[in-house]
Amino acid sequence: MTDFRIQLTRPDDWHLHVRDGQMLESVVPDSARQFARAIIMPNLKPPVATVVQALEYRKRILMALPEGSEFQPLMTLYLTEQTTPEEIRAAADSGHIHAVKYYPAGATTNAASGVGDIRRVFPVLEQMQQHGLPLLMHGEVTDPEVDVFDREAVFIERELDMLVQEFPGLPMVLEHITTRAAVEYVQDGPDKLAATVTAHHLLLNRNAIFQGGLRPHHYCLPLLKREQHRQALVGAVTSGNARFFLGTDSAPHPRGAKESDCGCAGIYTARNALELYAEVFDEAGALDRLEAFAAFHGPDFYGMPRNSGTIELERTEAEIPETVDFGGQVGVPFRAGGRTRWRLVG
């Protein structure tokens, strides 16, 4: 079955890291080839915390696009304890800022400027609720007493539950979910709550971090979890439930920053993201559900139009290189040296 093809409405990526400078220039074309739009994470150094910074960053992304590309970066603001309700109003009025990102301080890469206590930013959340500006959550507690594999489940108990009660009208996205607890909370949860799911959390369980030795290219946050959790995620995305949509969390780091004594968290899936998701849906016998997950549920949640163009995927193997260029540095893509089972045509 080498020439079996499917056509989909062009999808969007609702959680993407493209970095800045030369790295930006080399990674953006990978996303632009597959997706029409992407929610751009603001965890640069320094963080993208103001409207002015977000609009400047947007211009740099547009400049890095291949000639003729119509890819649209959907900007976000990085929530800090200094963020003001006025900044939120300006963000909502800007027309280019589509969400605000909440990193619990220290939870992940470049999260040092995040929020120590969410209660301190309640006036900001109130303002977001008024404007319907979504809150995107890195849903892990940072309490060192909590086991690293339990941090998402504990976040739901300690913070998310409180947030959805305090702000019932605030659209919220629990990002890159990794556990059965998150699936269950979101699928039966409040109306305004949704979740993104990455390709790597759908394809791998935590054994992959230790397969034959310590595997830094399988280190991401939230961490990969047990097989039962991976299966719960596959069940969620293939169920057709509109609260789950595509967000790669593709997060490039140069090889040296990953293969290190204290390596960075982040997996680069942008090169083959759609092909990897297709593999998951195909294996689950749910290819007919891929389009809604990748192209409908996200824009519907954000109140944006669905894309009008289409893309085509062919069920055939394609090689993934051992390394890619990250702006003059070496990058190691997901499944480096291996193969995809699907190929984006054109």
Binding site for ligand NCD (CB under 6 A): 17, 43, 108-109, 138, 220-221, 249, 251, 265-266
Token digits for 58? 């947007």
Q: Please, what is the minimum distance in Å from the beta carbon of residue 138 to ligand NCD?
A: 6
d(CA 135, CA 309): 28
Distance of CA 338 to the CA centre of its chain: 23
Query: Of ligand NCD, Zn ion, none, which one sits near residue 108, judging by CB under 5 to 8 A according to partner kind?
Result: ligand NCD
- Closest to ligand NCD by CB, 172 vs 251, is 251
Residue 93 has what DSSP assignment? H
Stretch that binds Zn ion, among 143-151, 234-242, 244-252, 315-323 (CB under 5 A): 244-252
Selected binder of Zn ion within 12, 152, 159, 249 (CB under 5 A):
249
- Closest to ligand NCD by CB, 72 vs 109, is 109
CB 58 within 8 A of CB 91: no
d(CA 344, CA 346): 6
d(CA 331, CA 235): 32
Stretch that binds Zn ion, among 79-87, 113-121, 156-164, 243-251 (CB under 5 A): 243-251
Q: Is 291 a binder of Zn ion (CB under 5 A)?
A: no
d(CA 172, CA 136): 6
- Closest to Zn ion by CB, 253 vs 343, is 253
- Closest to Zn ion by CB, 159 vs 249, is 249
Query: Of Zn ion, ligand NCD, none, which one sits near residue 265, judging by CB under 5 to 8 A according to partner kind?
Result: ligand NCD
User: Which residues are paired to 40 by β-bridges?
Assistant: 16
Q: Please, what is the minimum distance in Å from the beta carbon of residue 91 to Zn ion?
A: 19
Residue position matching structure tokens 């913070």: 159
Q: Let me know how long the chain is.
A: 346
143 assigned to active site:
no
d(CA 294, CA 48): 26
d(CA 228, CA 17): 28
- Closest to ligand NCD by CB, 129 vs 198, is 198
Of the residues 30, 147, 249, 288, which is catalytic? Answer: 249
Q: Please, what is the minimum distance in Å from the beta carbon of residue 71 to ligand NCD?
A: 20
Query: Of Zn ion, ligand NCD, none, which one sits near residue 266, judging by CB under 5 to 8 A according to partner kind?
Result: ligand NCD
Q: Which of 130, 52, 32 is nearest to 97 (CA)?
A: 52
Q: Please, what is the minimum distance in Å from the beta carbon of residue 343 to Zn ion?
A: 26
- Closest to ligand NCD by CB, 268 vs 296, is 268
CA angle 326, 327, 328 (to 5 degrees): 95
Q: Please, what is the minimum distance in Å from the beta carbon of residue 42 to ligand NCD?
A: 10
Q: Please, what is the minimum distance in Å from the beta carbon of residue 50 to ligand NCD?
A: 19
Residue 249 zone, left/alpha/beta (φ > 0; ψ -120 to 50; rest): left
Q: Is 140 a binder of Zn ion (CB under 5 A)?
A: no
Can you tell me whether residue 340 is helix, strand or coil?
strand
Residue numbers at the binding site for Zn ion (CB under 5 A): 249
Q: Which residues are catalytic?
A: 249
